[in-house]
Amino acid sequence: MGNLKAAGRQYPQTLPSCHSSSKSSPSLTCFHGQLSDPHHLDAVQQAELAVMDSESQYDEHDEAIDIGYPGHIGCDMKTLFLIRHAKSSWDDAALPDRDRPLDDRGERDVAKMGKRLVERNVKADLIMSSPAKRALATAVVIAKMLDYKRKDIVVNHRLYAGQMDDLLDVIQELDHKLERVMLVGHNPELTELAQYLSTEITHMPTCAIAEFTFHAKSWSAIGKSKPDQVTLDHPKKSDP
């Protein structure tokens, strides 16, 4: 199928359900509120239950769309949120790791953390998630609570089972117009990246949110200088 060029790199086109464009990559797909993989539906429905969503179920046959970043005009500040997925279930030992859903505590925790973001009036220009069921379910709840459109959630396969350097590459390749970006992923790479960006963070438990503010015009500068501000929040931390 040839290659797609995205963010200065060449990627083989491996997702035929995605429409090609100069801004798309096979490792990236936008989420319509559904995925072409029906195994993700249970996690999404469970996540929506956590915020009492009464909307109709998703059509699992809809295909992915091109990436359309809803970002604002860039400024000299960039805010990065690293979000570890909420607690997942191990009840079914036969499930592949990628397909494990959130458990009951995980659903409660992500709703709790989403509420804290709302109370702080946090907004996101881009929410990007690992394709793993537990990460995507976490992203869906947070997006819902922040009034971020489900269709604009970007699923990036480099956020699953990757290395810290993979996450840093994803960040540094972001459009400079974006100011506030959330990455929803996994340990150990999330904690390793958080530690790399700031020695103030030693561990990210499930559903933890690490927030970094940088004085930078471009995301390519992230990781090359210290952040101006760092905060870490997680479900077991006392409410402010």
pLDDT at position 29 is 64
Tell whether the model's pLDDT for residue 15 goes beyond 70: no
**Per residue in 171-220, pLDDT tens?**
999 999 999 999 999 999 999 999 999 999 999 999 999 999 999 999 99
Stated pTM of the model: 0.73
Query: Alpha-carbon distance 155 to 70, whole Å?
Result: 15
Helix H, strand E, coil C: the string for 85-144 is CCCECCCCCCCCHHHCCECHHHHHHHHHHHHHHHHCCCCCCEEEECCCHHHHHHHHHHHH
Tell whether the model's pLDDT for residue 56 goes beyond 60: no
Least confident segment among 53-57, 118-122, 149-153, 233-237: 53-57
Mean pLDDT over the full length of the chain: 79
**Per residue in 61-107, pLDDT tens?**
232 223 334 444 446 899 999 999 999 999 999 999 999 999 999 99
Q: What is the dihedral of CA 208, 214, 218, 222, to 10 degrees?
A: -60
pLDDT at position 37 is 42
Query: Alpha-carbon distance 158 to 163, whole Å?
Result: 9
Positive or negative, the CA dihedral 179, 15, 101, 87 is: negative
pLDDT at position 32 is 47
pLDDT at position 218 is 96
Query: Alpha-carbon distance 163 to 222, whole Å?
Result: 17
Q: Which residue has the higher pLDDT, 168 or 3?
A: 168
Tell whether the model's pLDDT for residue 3 goes beyond 60: no
Closest CA to 226 of 196, 193, 201: 196
Helix extents (H) in 29-94: 41-50
